[in-house]
Structure 1
Amino acid sequence: MTFGFVENTIIDRNTIKLIRSQAAKGRNVGKKHPSRGRRATIKADIAKSDYKTEHLDSRNHHMVLPTIELQFEDSLSVFPLPVESTPESRTPVQKAFEFLISVPHKPGLGNAIDFSVAGSIWIQFWFVDEAYFHCFIATSIAAKNLSTTNPEDSTEGLSHLSDSLRLVNQRLSEGEALSDMTLASVVSMLQYERMCGQYYQALIHFRGLQQMVELRGGISQLMKEKPELAQKISRADLEFAIYLGSSTRFSVDDVPGVATLNWLRERLGTSQISSLLTSQSFVQLNPRMKEVWTDIMSLTWFLNENVDDSIKMDGYTYHDTLILILISYRLVDIRPLNADPANSLENIIHVRLLMIMANFLLSLMHRLPDLPLLRQQIGALVQEEFTDDAENK
């Protein structure tokens, strides 16, 4: 930056413009600023989006976020953050935002599932809540280090995590334990801990979160008020149950969504599964296992055969209702993994069906979660089948 001298005995309009121009160059050099008309358009887009956000889709509970052209060097420049941004923090913040808006899902599902609106409430929390913001920055940094053979210094991530814990504890002591943002921050901590394999530490936080949900009126009430928040909590509940081999802490009967499942069943019909319904293995199962197996067939048939873009299933319904609640929850409810199987046939089918559904439960890192107990049971079944085949030869 060059320096210039002005005559201060007579300051006219041109001199004032020169002074302001020179003063602004120090912090704004290299930046591109939209015109006044463009800034007005941006504000109008945000205001329009805020109006849409207040009017939720009554069936799918979607919240619409603004679509804004990138005006500055990064996509966050037009939005205020819950913390003061510095030049040093710009890169990790930008990477965390890109990590936040990436929706984990299996490749090839784009023909049947629309993921474009998934996760909107979590993006909004990121822009307004400091505790959630800090925790997701830490999660983003940890995810990057876990996915590379040359991890970077984790000091910054741990600092963000410490800030998040401090803010949450402050809210708990000040009587804000039941707010949406406090629950969202704890959910984010659970995501961080599960991603890092710290399941037993996360379980302590989850028990506290469960008490908070009960004080909010239970998971059913939370589902009505904040469905996206309730479904993330249910996802954590399911992962703990599969990881530990225990029952879920929330009941599948408390969670709505039967209408979507009925829609899938009607689309499938009986012609596609006629051979399954008459098979000897299927006939020997108990009614609950038959029902879940049929529903999994309905889902997989829809995902494999659907090529009509006009009947895409939205991401909320796909992940949070079908995969998480109405199918996987019921599988765990039929028999937790640490329970003794009623018979060998049901055990084989139960583990295989749970293995199919676990393949859809991708983590934030777009990977399958580490579920050692399920992995052990799959290995035991493979070994048992291998032994049986060897003995029959």
Structure 2
Amino acid sequence: MNEVQMRLSGPDAIADSSISMIVSLISQEQLGNQLENAEIHARGLQQIVRLRGGISSLEGNFPLALQVCKSDIMLSLQLGKSTIFFRDNMPDLATQQELIFDPFMIPGSVASGYYHVGSTLQKIFSDVMRFCAMMNAEIRTTSLDFLGFEEILISICYRLLKFRSLNELKNNPDIHSMFHLGLTVFTMSTFLQFDRHKIISHRFLSTCLQEVSRFQSYGNQDHLNFWFLMVGGIWVANDEDGDWAICTIRETTHRQGITTWNQARSILCMFPWIHGLHDQPGYDLWTRAQANQEKIEFTVPGR
């Protein structure tokens, strides 16, 4: 650590290599669940980036900029607090990736305005649906590399966390919280598909899911409830205390009269859902939720 402190107090304090070193330190503290130490390092990183001229000053080293943002988002989710930085390149990314069509022209999709969640969440929902449509397309008109994929998700995460932190939504379980948290968990489950084991603990996010799941709205919001529980259930599927999701999904499907996976999947596809990433874990979760009910015949698309 002395070597690190000497480096950060010297002429290379604001160099890319120093920023990368601090990001690594934050990651190490996150892995060890030493969140207070991670937050201290993050505040130091904030000062260095400020001296550099802000997060936009890192554009010359695009991968490093994304590393800083990803570290910031992960820590925000772990602590339940607001992010330190903000980055939203979605308008440019949408044009580059030709995400310019109306997402509600997707067969069976829902309009977020139907749930009266406000213009901010409506716009985020719209962009997420565009992203899903691109990922689900059998033939893509543009190519999306890994860095572009990450930048789309980072832009979405930052907008969600700017709208409301996890601490705020945990203490206010309502339709906005359900919509907001569902989008957050969907985005994170997509973000971490390249690290399925989730070696960094996100227990606070899982706790928020359980708290908000207790808010149950009925009538024309039943489908939203079901999607929220399924994306949340995928997130906590391997948690030791994740059985609450199985029980709640079972109760919800019984109440809504959903008896087959095809029915379930048709509802899920009305909302953000990427077939290649979510169909299999969704099907696995569905079968677990139905395990203690009467035997039901399931059919999985493509099987």
CA contact (8 A) 1:238 1:329 kept: yes
Partner of 1:323: 153
- Structure 1 position 382 matched with structure 2 position 213: yes
Deviation by residue 1:155-205 (Cα, 9 ceiling, x = unmatched): xxxxxxxxxx34322212333211111111111222222223222211111
Deviations 1:26-68 (A, max 9, x none): xxxxxxxxxxxxxxxxxxxxxxxxxxxxxxxxxxxxxxxxxxx
The correspondence for 1:301, drawn from 90, 113, 133, is 133
- Tell me by how many angstroms 1:215 deviates: 0.5
Aligned to 2:93: 260
Q: Which residue does the alignment assign to 2:225?
A: none
Q: Partner of 1:336 in structure 2?
A: 165
1:276 equivalent in structure 2 = 110
| Alignment-derived partner of residue 273 in structure 2 | none
CA distance in 2, matches of 1:277, 1:286: 12
Is the contact between residue 195 and residue 364 of structure 1 (CA under 8 Å) also seen in structure 2? no
Aligned residue in 2 for 1:345: 175
Residue pair 1:264, 1:298 contacting (<8 A) in 2 also? no
In the alignment, what sits opposite 2:222?
none
Q: Distance in 2 between matches of 1:375 and 1:217?
A: 35
Instruction: Find out whether 1:171 has 2:1 as its counterpart.
Output: no
The residue aligned with 2:189 is 359
Answer whether contact 2:78 2:202 (CA < 8 A) is retained: yes
* Deviation digits for residues 222-280 of structure 1 (CA, Å, limit 9, x no counterpart): 2x22222121111111111111111111134xx44521124453256541167412873
Post-superposition CA distance 1:278-334 (Å, at most 9, x none): 8732xx1200100111111111222222444x7320111101x1111x211111111
Determine helix, strand or coil for the equivalent of 1:359. Answer: helix
Counterpart amino acid of 2:123? E
Deviations 1:350-369 (A, max 9, x none): 11111101112329855334
Amino acid at match of 2:160: L
Amino acid in the other structure paired with 2:186:
I
Structure 1 residue 202 corresponds to structure 2 residue 38: yes
Quote the Cα distance in structure 1 between the aligned partners of 2:112 and 2:120: 17
Q: Which residue of 2 aligns with 1:71?
A: none
User: Equivalent residues in 2 for 1:1-393 (5 A)?
Assistant: 165-222=1-58, 224-252=59-87, 255-262=88-95, 263-267=97-101, 269-272=103-106, 275-277=109-111, 280-281=114-115, 284-308=116-140, 311-319=142-150, 321-324=151-154, 326-340=155-169, 344-362=174-192, 366-368=196-198, 369-385=200-216
Whether contact under 8 Å (1:285, 1:346) holds in the other structure is: yes
Counting aligned pairs with the same residue, the percent is 23
Letter in 1 for 2:127: D
Q: Equivalents in 1 of 2:112, 2:74: separation in Å?
A: 33
**Where do 5+ consecutive residues of structure 1 fail to align?**
1-164
Residues 274 and 366 of structure 1: is their aligned pair in 2 closer, same or farther, counting only changes over 3 Å?
closer
Q: Please say if residues 195 and 363 of structure 1, whose CA atoms lie closer than 8 Å, have aligned partners that are also in contact.
A: no
Q: What TM-score comes out, normalization by structure 2 length?
A: 0.64
Q: Distance in 2 between matches of 1:346 and 1:352?
A: 10
Assess, with a 3 A threshold, how the Cα gap between structure 1 residues 365 and 277 changes in structure 2: closer, same or farther. Answer: closer
- Once residues 71 and 100 of structure 2 are traced to their aligned partners in structure 1, the CA distance between those partners, rounded to angstroms, is 30
Does the 8 Å CA contact 2:79/2:204 hold for their aligned counterparts? yes
Give the distance between the partners of 2:138 and 2:42, measured in 1 at CA. Answer: 37
Do the aligned residues in 2 keep the contact of 1:248 with 1:333 (CA within 8 Å)?
A: yes
Structure 2 CA distance for partners of 1:278 and 1:244, relative to 1, 3 Å: closer
What number of residue pairs does the alignment pair up?
A: 220
Counterpart of 1:244, as a letter, is L
Relative distance call for 1:347 and 1:174 in structure 2 (3 A) is closer
Cα gap change, 1:294/1:198 in structure 2, threshold over 3 Å: closer, same or farther? Answer: same
Please give the root-mean-square deviation of Cα atoms over the aligned residues, in Å.
3.0
Which SS does the other structure have where 1:221 is aligned?
A: helix
Q: Distance in 2 between matches of 1:293 and 1:336?
A: 17
Whole-Å Cα distance in 2 between the matches of residues 175 and 195 of structure 1?
30
User: 2:119 and 2:18 mapped to 1: Cα distance?
Assistant: 41
CA distance in 1: counterparts of 2:134 and 2:120, whole angstroms: 21
Residues 203 and 380 of structure 1: is their aligned pair in 2 closer, same or farther, counting only changes over 3 Å? same
